[in-house]
Structure 1
Amino acid sequence: MLLSLAIVFLVGLSVSAIVQQLKLPRIIGMLAVGIITGPYVLDLLDPSILGISSELRQIALIIILIKAGLSLDLSDLKKVGRPAVMMSFVPACFEILGYLCFAPILLNVSKIEAAVMGAVLSAVSPAVVVPRMVKLIEEKLGTNKSIPQMILAGASCDDIFVIVLFSTFVTMAQGGSAQITDFLNIPISIILGIALGIITGSVLFILFEKCYQTQHKIRNSTKALILLATAFVLMSVETALKTHISVSGLLAVVAMACVIKIKTDKSVSERLSQKFGKLWIAAEIMLFVLVGAAVDIRYTLTAGISAIIMIFIALAFRAIGVRFCMIGTNLSFKERLFCIIAYLPKATVQAAIGSVPLSLGLPCGKIILSVAVLAILFTAPLGAIGIDATSRAWLSSNKSD
């Protein structure tokens, strides 16, 4: 396992640095390292690492979501309330519609199989989008119109909506029927997740204040560790309650970090944000190398050109959905186009659930996994390159804040 970790970090760092010198996003190098060193090509990574890959990826995602929460300004988020809410489900609905319309024609699947495929493919990747939006917030690019805040909030909720739909469609594909309670889980999950995060953040703030008042000062490094460990608990609560009630652990983590930012001194929240920024250096490498390792490159050979065409048709539907969310906003054409680009990347969710239909024995399982693999390979780099290339040119700077 130690040698595998050394490969992940050393090779991941080296290749991502080379890719960065070529003016390309670092994640391209990390994904490539994961694919090449993973079990489907050179098989250099220890099975024990791959066995806990999903947990390690989740830890990395938690780190960047805490940093996102510590960077979010709720007053900015209020300005874009309606578009942010719409971004959490409308683009995904449009993309699923694209699969429903064209997947039966291009990929010879049934309507319900097309719906399952759409649910797998329609989630935006928070791992690609969130760190880039956090960086834009820190650099005050687009913040005068709350563009990164809107995208960050929408991307954080998008996955919840899509995963609920995925579970429902899979049940239907197995011969079951959709229940109205399945769809009620979406708002319940969001509301309970935010409420849990607010309560947890408030309790932590009171704890920190009590310690400060009694001269038992807690170092910021210790606070960061407490926040991280508490975030693990919140994610575990989601898992523990899954059979009884739906709670979004990821939203709880973001909400907890937001409360800490609001209630603590600005200098403290900034230092905590910096510490999670340093943790993200290692977490990012781990996340994207392991996402790459989860990609079975062999399936790309069986998918064919039809799968690639299907992906880009669905992305066109998604773009229309994002454009629809922007109606009534004061965003310029280029800013709206930036929002469309920022909502392209697929990675984490597809790596997590892309193989589920195949493991359940669904006839469409192999083609869904093939399309999911291709979507990661095309859209994660495409979205990352697009965001990095256009953010400075298309978003206005607000450095005076």
Structure 2
Amino acid sequence: MIPEGSPNTALHQLLVIGLVMLVSLYIGKWVKRTKLPSLIGYMLVGVVAGPFVLNGIDKSLLSQLDFIVEVGLGLVAFTIGAVLSVASFKKTGRGLASLILGETIVAFLVVTLGVYLFFDNWPLAMLLGAIGAASAPAGTVAIIQDYQAKGRLTNTLYAVVGFDDGLSVIIYGFALVFAKSILLQTNGHTEYSVTDQLWAPFQEILLSILVGLIAGYVFLALVKKLRKEGDILVLSSALVMILVGLSQQWHLSLVLTNMVAGMVLVNSGREGVINRVRQATSMIMPLVFILFFALAGAHLDISSLLIVGGGGVVYIISRCIGKAGGAWIGGTLGGADPQIARSLGLAILSQAGLAIGLALIVQKEMAHIAVLYNLPSAAEIGATVLTTITATTVIFEIIGPILTRHVLSKAGEINDR
């Protein structure tokens, strides 16, 4: 038996990670030839190598590598922000805010209603509805970059998947407060104060924006003096890691902080500086996507599909309807391009890190309430939320990227070579 932490153990871990990266590269290329996105291949390798199949990446190693997923998501968010210039908003056309509000809020309402009709449980319905409102930016950006997508729909997708997460965090914050209130008050605990808890979601968003702004201007002042792409890549990576660390330390949105920093760059920097940063970060993105989606695949327990049940099916169907219908309603009311309004909802169905993270918070919060107030039903709600989100994420991470590629292809915005 090799002791934990010995050189041989470290060698084994590096061997496994290297093999996963190598196999993911070629499986991704093979999958792309079948007209499916490369990231499906990366996730497939991760699933097979993960703790639920071959156990090459066991749970201990997986937990040690979680920081890679977080840094990867931060880089994706920074990349999103770095294309969200005022000029790009003008090119996107009218109705962007309406599209974002529509697809997020309508998804929340439709999922909440669907789950309530199935479970007859308002706290559970509100929590699943709030989590269902969030999209996964990494999957969408990976498809855009993999196929070199360009066009109005692509620009809109960048903006939507970025701001979608910020709005979803606010909705989730309110939903969690009201779910707790309903649960406790219906069980005779009237001392819980809703008003004291309502400030928290706004505080998280405002602080995330403030930190992102400060970091963005500091980054811009530093990057102006650099010329070598390697130096710019190091500085960009350091920025993202610092912002991810601060987000964890201060309980901020790592997506929003990094996205705002990117927006400062693209809206305040000179074109030459912006292009150098984009070229530098583009060098590392293929590696980031392979590691991100392989590790995301390793987290997926395919056997959880067996326990989706009727509630999971209701959640999947209502989320699809809410996203697609909400984008169409919001886009139509806001005067967006009709083609974008009709198709955008199907391109943002991916569900991954943020949804699972929020589900874990719900599970912990409900377990705490169960102990504190002697309410076993609270623990049941938390367990149901986590099980439903974990199981349905497997499905959405498969169909989401495929639909994103289909929508971009239909719009004529991808290079499908």
TM-score by shorter chain over 0.5:
yes
TM superposition score category, shorter chain reference: 0.7 to 0.9
Q: TM-score, normalising length from structure 1?
A: 0.83
Work out whether residues 159 and 349 of structure 1, in 8 Å CA contact, stay in contact via their aligned partners in 2. no
Work out whether residues 294 and 351 of structure 1, in 8 Å CA contact, stay in contact via their aligned partners in 2. no
- Name the structure 2 match of 1:367: 384
- Name the structure 2 match of 1:337: 342
Counterpart residue identity of residue 197, structure 1: G
Q: Post-superposition shift, 1:169?
A: 5.6
Residues 319-328 or 274-283, more deviating: 319-328
Residues 362-371 or 272-281, more deviating: 362-371
Q: Post-superposition shift, 1:323?
A: 1.9
Q: Post-superposition shift, 1:80?
A: 6.0
- Name the structure 2 match of 1:236: 245
Superposition CA RMSD, Å: 3.1
User: Hey, what's the Cα distance between the residues in 2 that align with 1:14 and 1:312?
Assistant: 34
Work out whether residues 344 and 379 of structure 1, in 8 Å CA contact, stay in contact via their aligned partners in 2. yes
CA separation of 1:225/1:162 partners in 2, compared to 1, >3 Å: closer, same or farther? Answer: farther
User: Hey, what's the Cα distance between the residues in 1 that align with 2:28 and 2:200?
Assistant: 39
Instruction: Note if 1:157 corresponds to 2:162.
Output: no
Structure 1 stretches lacking a partner, 5+ long? none
- Name the structure 1 match of 2:371: none
Instruction: Note if 1:70 corresponds to 2:73.
Output: no
| Paired residue secondary structure (1:35) | helix
Instruction: Note if 1:6 corresponds to 2:21.
Output: no
- Name the structure 2 match of 1:310: 315
CA separation of 1:53/1:30 partners in 2, compared to 1, >3 Å: closer, same or farther? Answer: same
Deviations 1:145-171 (A, max 9, x none): 952343244334244335424643664
User: Hey, what's the Cα distance between the residues in 2 that align with 1:181 and 1:80?
Assistant: 39
Residues 165-174 or 31-40, more deviating: 165-174
Q: Post-superposition shift, 1:88?
A: 4.6
- Name the structure 2 match of 1:127: 138
Residues 189-198 or 167-176, more deviating: 167-176
Alignment of 1:263-282 (within 5 A): 263-282=268-287
Work out whether residues 124 and 158 of structure 1, in 8 Å CA contact, stay in contact via their aligned partners in 2. no
Counterpart residue identity of residue 324, structure 2: A
Equivalent pairs, count: 384
Deviations 1:228-270 (A, max 9, x none): 212222232233333xxxx434222122222223444423322
User: Hey, what's the Cα distance between the residues in 2 that align with 1:314 and 1:187?
Assistant: 25
CA separation of 1:393/1:105 partners in 2, compared to 1, >3 Å: closer, same or farther? Answer: closer
Instruction: Note if 1:142 corresponds to 2:159.
Output: no
Deviations 1:206-237 (A, max 9, x none): 3344xx4xxxx552321221122122222322
Work out whether residues 43 and 296 of structure 2, in 8 Å CA contact, stay in contact via their aligned partners in 1. yes
| Paired residue secondary structure (1:272) | helix
- Name the structure 2 match of 1:222: 231
Q: Post-superposition shift, 1:325?
A: 1.8
| Paired residue secondary structure (1:13) | helix
- The share of aligned pairs that are identical, in percent, is 19
CA separation of 1:105/1:350 partners in 2, compared to 1, >3 Å: closer, same or farther? Answer: same
Structure 2 stretches lacking a partner, 5+ long? 1-12, 368-378
CA separation of 1:345/1:296 partners in 2, compared to 1, >3 Å: closer, same or farther? Answer: same
2:395 to 378, 385, 390: 378
- Name the structure 1 match of 2:376: none
CA separation of 1:125/1:301 partners in 2, compared to 1, >3 Å: closer, same or farther? Answer: same
Deviations 1:27-84 (A, max 9, x none): 2222222222221222111444311343211111112222222223222225769844
| Paired residue secondary structure (1:326) | helix
Q: Post-superposition shift, 1:310?
A: 3.3
- Name the structure 2 match of 1:348: 353
